[in-house]
Chain A
Amino acid sequence: MRRRSWLLVTIALLGAAAFLMSRGDAPRREPQARVSFPRALRPAEAQRLEARRTLGERPAPEHVPAAEAPPGRMPPVLDPVLASLPAVPGRSAVVVEANALRHSPIGELLLDCLLTGGDARRLDEAREELGIDPLEDVDRVAFGGNGVLLVSGNFASAKWDALGEDVRTERYGDKARFFGRADHGGDALAVWGDELVLLADDRRELEQTIDRLEGRLPPAPPAIDESSTYGEIYGVISAEQLANLIPAQEQGLRDRVREAAERVELHVDATGDVGIVADVEGPQEALVRDLGKSLGAALSLARVKARAEGDDELVELLDLARVRPQAGRFALELALPLELLQRHLGGGCRAGDEVRATEAPE
């Protein structure tokens, strides 16, 4: 090999090196930032809680039978929504901060995705027909263990006539109105003041709820304590319903949840990345500890399976899942990074747009 050719090889290889190494110069995706998980009331949530204490303390009603009086003195729940969600053993109660969620990054993302073309028009029509803007005037949506669905917000301008010509209105108590069809069929619907819409299968449940709000019945122990109203979704889930969320093939894990868990408190924070915390408590510390280990192991195995199947997005999600054991309880933490949701929802929206475009009349 002539000496000069070594120099030519050098130059050629340097050119190749520059070309090849520049492939890696693309901006690197930063590793996932730490997701903040909801663990306690934050200052803004404490202020929100204070602003919602609108009921005012009332003296206990005189006609209440002694058997129905709550034991000891309960701290008064002055938030109408929380006061309408009594604790029912073995049943779930969940509050969704609809307005906060709508204005959160994930809410904006979902609206951008969902409200395109015809959907936006339909929403405008609904606004016109109902007299309220569901995206702005609804504050919270709550599901109680007593079977009552509550929607809180500003319904002063709501057009209740839009419910139908055969719907009659009946006043109840100080501030409530019932809406019902002449044949008494269908669900019971009531409005309390201009701030609360209540819906249930059974009218008696609504009457009891309104009676509690207006002081004719003693307050029931709330399903959700005021100090637990942090996050954009919060509440308590029964062990049975949590067990039902576990895939059927994990029957052993389902049984363990039913056996060990007594109360599961759920909190979802959506102010940035979505952080989900489920605090699990049970009467027997050893059983709860074992359940925590079993859930941690199940998450770990699911991650291994996802990796083996090449499901990188699920691997990324399960990377952030963990169980944090504490004395007599544990917290199950899951996270949905916003960046991942943007990628996922972005793809879903594009697919939806394409479907809508092909379905649109020519």
Chain B
Amino acid sequence: MNGTIAVALDLLRESISRRWFLALGAAITLVLVFLGLALRLDVVDGALAATRLFGTALDNDIRSVDVALRPVFEAAADAIFYGGLAFGVLACADFGPSLLAPGRIEHLLALPVRRHELLAGTYLGVLLLACAGALYGAGGLALILGAKTGVWTLRPLAAALLAAVTFTAIYGAMLAAAVFARSSALSAAVGAALFVCGIVAGYRDELLAAFEPGVGREAFAGITLVLPRVSALARTAADIAASRPVDLAVVAAMLAGVFAFGFAMLALAVWRFEGRDF
């Protein structure tokens, strides 16, 4: 276990030194500063009476603040979810292959760390990284809107964590691909493919209805059955952020399923990794 944590911390240190992640942090900070300076909300006892951006009135209807701000929270949840996944696929594609790079892997295997701990540590590190990025963006947004409206809600953070968990499922498959063939491009391609297929899988029921009965339908049903429902999770994240009611039992089952998929991919990577000679 200590070996897993040590590897995860090592990955975090490595990520801090990468420009990609510094750029992500800077971009999130810029958006938050922009919102903090430009957005003016006129709130009366929990009701939003006016929204102004750079002094221009956007909306003068008087409504509950969280209802009025739904589009903002939904847009933020979608941006964090899809933007975060896309960025994560690109930025994290190199972690697996660089772990297995000649010279480095021999060095790591010489340390008192078991092979599965190496992969589990990398996976845990990426999970922490995804959570940190999502929490920074969503937390900053929640702070700014809370300070401006007096409505303090943790919902955007919950939505962001959902995005982070979804990414770790995708990253499990990326890590497995890297173990099978040490290639950043392949790792990114698998991540991107799973991202797109996960969006399709989120509309599985609706799309199945459009298929003629037969092999094609069964194949589609079988393949999408195991894939993370990326778009369904994104909708759920937006609903959570926008204070819409969600079925907690369904969300919990989907989250457990996403974790199970991520761990399944990690176990596959470990199976392959245990059988390789370096």
Contact = CB atoms under 8 A, between A and B. Distances in A.
A13 B261 CA distance: 6
Interface stretch (A178-186, A262-270, A311-319): A311-319
Interface stretch (A88-96, A123-131, A295-303, A352-360): A295-303
Nearest to A11: B264
B253 A20 contact: yes
A18 B223 CA distance: 10
Contacts, number: 143
A149 to B, nearest CB: 36
A173 B170 CA distance: 85
B67 A24 contact: no
B271 to A, nearest CB: 4
Q: Secondary structure of the A side of the interface?
A: helix
B64 A6 contact: no
Contact of B225 (A22, A26, A296): A22
A245 interface: no
A322 B253 contact: no
B260 interface: yes
Contacts of A336: none
Contact of A296 (B47, B245, B268, B274): B47
Interface residues of B, number: 45
B275 interface: yes
Given A6-B271, A297-B47, A17 B63 contact: no
A299 B47 contact: yes
Given A14-B264, A18-B226, A27-B205, A323 B61 contact: yes
Contacts of A322: 61-63
B268 A10 contact: yes
Interface string B31-46: 0000000000000111
Contacts of A218: none
Contacts of B226: 14, 17-18, 21
A321 B264 contact: no
Interface in A270-321: 292-297, 299-301, 303-304, 312, 315-316, 318-319, 321
B3 interface: no
B230 to A, nearest CB: 11
Q: Secondary structure of the B side of the interface?
A: helix
Contacts of A14: 226, 260-261, 264
Query: Interface range on chain A: under 10, 10 to 19, 20 to 34, or 35 or more?
Result: 35 or more
A324 interface: yes
Contacts of B111: none
A322 to B, nearest CB: 4
A28 interface: yes
A16 B62 contact: no
A25 interface: yes
A299 B256 CA distance: 38
A107 interface: no
B204, B258, B263, B267, most chain A CB atoms within 10 A: B267
Contacts of A27: 205-206
A67 interface: no
A23 B46 contact: no
Contacts of B257: 16-24
B228 interface: yes
Given A16-B257, A28-B232, A321-B63, 4 more contacts: A6-B267, A17-B226, A22-B225, A22-B257
8 nearest A-B residue pairs (beta carbon): A296-B62, A20-B257, A21-B257, A13-B264, A297-B45, A6-B271, A23-B253, A300-B47
